[in-house]
Amino acid sequence: MAKIAFTAPRVANFKCPSAKQQAFLWDATAPGLGLRTTPAGQPSYVFQGLYEGKTIRITIGSPAAWTIPNAQAKARELQRQIDEGHDPRELKREAAEARKQKMAAEVAAAEQAKKDAAAAALTVAEAWRAYLEARRPYWGEAHYNDHLKLARSGGQIAKRGTRGRGVTIAMPLHALMGLPLRSLDAVTVEGWAAREAKSRPTSTRLAWRLLKVFLNWCAEQPEYVGLLPAKNPAATRKTREALGKPKAKTDVLLREQLPAWFNAVRSIGNATISAALQVMLLTGARPGEVLSLRWEDVNLQWRGLTIRDKVEGERIIPMTPYVQSLLDGLPRRNDWVFASTRAVMMDSKNKARRERRAQAKGEAVKLGEVVEGSATGYITEPRSHHACACKTAGIEGLTLHGLRRSFKSLTEWLDIPAGVVAQIMGHKPSATAEKHYTVRPLDLLRLHHERIEAWMLEQAGVPLVARPQAHKLHVVG
């Protein structure tokens, strides 16, 4: 191969004959350096050498990008690699792979830095919202509302329940919501428990139990697992000791207090609340189970009540005569038995204002429509009415849940089977035989339940009412 010294004019004027597919011009200065061109006129510097007895050719680059001295230096470098026993092609691939890996590592590092920054900024409140959204399908409404309530901020204007402040106070978990999740260690939780337990130990104990389960859930999530200690920071002895043990509640109606309690409760001006309180005592149901009772849950044919049970989902208990008379006396305002009495019957005076508000929301409102004052449609727990009635009756410290406790305690006077009382109240069976072998139909429960009701009313001096016949209409006075 003829060689010449590369100069800029020689490189620029080198052309490929049209009869050939490619042509080469070889440099006399740098061994192996050549200029390759095609009829299309796209020249490039190449290196050609002998590696392990075989000719290899490597493209260096275009003359537009490489000067002659740089191309000569590159050719000498490639020849040195061959002289050292390396294949320049393999070294080039390795270099390209190294650059690719370096770029990937830089991208990964940048992504990890972003994740670390986001994790450092992630607050307990953000993880708490994700937790509630993920677990809500598996919870009951009351349990979900407990999570919302205990993390609620204060400062909301309210006329009741603020002890004269006029605004609500922040709930126990709210103090943790603004903290970074990664800062939620054992020391932080222990300090929180010690502070909150001084003023409200009961609600803080519930908040603590919810917090422990939340942190267990976080430990199972890939995006949170690196933010928390290996051991649940809420599950420490110091936190448990700071919160103390709950004391067993003992508020209960005594047999001799029944006349005064019934007299005071039956005198409450709101017939719906009066009926709800009496049904709580006479059925032993939880306050929320009674208040959320719907008319569709009242079976007049078989005289039964379907209770939305937080343990088993629902249970059916007898509708005893006096309880049925209470329900018969209630107006049907909406789907709920104990409907909210805060209902506004629209009149011509406020029709225009409510129609404009409804149109803004895309709703239709007609004259005479009942607008519920309660967000749920049924009355909330009537603690104030019950407290006032108990004060009138001279009974101290009796809570709404105490009525459920009273039902169980008063049945002891009648020697009612414990399994019957537990089934009516919705308690889980406490023995294998009770759980797997005892099946009590509604009529058998009714036999005992009506006996319990009749005895309570007798002790209270409340006259019994004639049992209405389900297949006939009757007048409720």
User: Residues 172-203: pLDDT tens digits?
Assistant: 999 999 999 989 999 999 999 999 999 999 99
Q: Which amino acid is at 346?
A: M
Can you give the CATH number for the domain in which 403 is found? 1.10.443.10
Residue 130, pLDDT score? 94
Report if residue 362 sits inside a domain: no
Residue 17, pLDDT score? 87
Residue 141, pLDDT score? 83
Report if residue 348 sits inside a domain: no
Residue 120, pLDDT score? 73
Give the model's confidence band at 475: pLDDT under 50 very low, under 70 low, under 90 confident, else very high: very low
Give the model's confidence band at 204: pLDDT under 50 very low, under 70 low, under 90 confident, else very high: very high
- Asked if 294 and 443 sit in the same domain, the reply is yes
Angle ∠(187,133,204) on CA atoms, nearest 5: 35
| Segments forming the whole domain that contains residue 197 | 124-243
- Asked if 234 and 259 sit in the same domain, the reply is no
Report if residue 28 sits inside a domain: yes
| 372 token code pair | 């519920």
Q: Which residue has the tokens 């379907």?
A: 306
CA distances from 187 to 51, 97, 181, 195, 448 (A): 68, 48, 14, 12, 54
- Asked if 165 and 214 sit in the same domain, the reply is yes
Residue 342, pLDDT score? 62
Q: What is the pLDDT of residues 71-91, one digit of tens each?
A: 999 999 999 999 999 999 999
pLDDT for residue 473 is more than 80: no
Q: How far apart are CA 217 and CA 139, in angstroms?
A: 14
Using the 3D structure, point to which of 243, 273, 294 is the last residue of a domain. 243
CA distances from 342 to 21, 181, 215, 289, 339 (A): 96, 42, 41, 21, 9
Residues 271-294 have a mean pLDDT of: 94
Q: Which amino acid is at 350?
A: N
Enumerate residues 6+ apart whose C-beta is below 8 A from 389: 261, 264, 265, 267, 268, 277
Can you give the CATH number for the domain in which 82 is found? 3.30.160.390
Report if residue 57 sits inside a domain: yes
β-sheet bridge partners, residue 37: 23
Give the model's confidence band at 472: pLDDT under 50 very low, under 70 low, under 90 confident, else very high: very low
Give the model's confidence band at 161: pLDDT under 50 very low, under 70 low, under 90 confident, else very high: low
- Asked if 334 and 232 sit in the same domain, the reply is no
- Asked if 403 and 330 sit in the same domain, the reply is yes
- Asked if 239 and 164 sit in the same domain, the reply is yes
- Asked if 382 and 417 sit in the same domain, the reply is yes
- Asked if 325 and 434 sit in the same domain, the reply is yes
Residue-wise DSSP of 390-455: HHHHT--S--HHHHHHHHHHHGGGGT--HHHHHHHHTPPP-SHHHHHT----HHHHHHHHHHHHHH
- Asked if 383 and 335 sit in the same domain, the reply is yes
Residue 372, pLDDT score? 37
Q: How far apart are CA 167 and CA 158, in angstroms?
A: 5
Q: What is the pLDDT of residues 109-134, one digit of tens each?
A: 888 777 767 677 789 999 999 999 99
Residue-wise DSSP of 271-337: HHHHHHHHHHHHH---HHHHHT-BGGGEETTTTEEEE--TTTS-EEEE--HHHHHHHHTS---SSBT
Residue 275, pLDDT score? 96
Residue 161 main-chain phi, psi, to 5 deg: 75, 15
Question: What is the number of domains present in the chain?
Answer: 3
Residues 360-388 have a mean pLDDT of: 64
Residue 259, pLDDT score? 95
Residues 56-64 have a mean pLDDT of: 93
- Asked if 153 and 69 sit in the same domain, the reply is no
Report if residue 151 sits inside a domain: yes
Least trusted range by pLDDT, from 25-39, 265-279, 378-392, 422-436 = 422-436
Instruction: For the chain, give the mean pLDDT.
Output: 85
pLDDT for residue 47 is more than 90: yes
Report if residue 367 sits inside a domain: no
Report if residue 428 sits inside a domain: yes
Residues 267-274 have a mean pLDDT of: 94
- Asked if 323 and 420 sit in the same domain, the reply is yes
pLDDT for residue 216 is more than 70: yes
Report if residue 352 sits inside a domain: no
- Asked if 159 and 218 sit in the same domain, the reply is yes
Residue 428, pLDDT score? 76
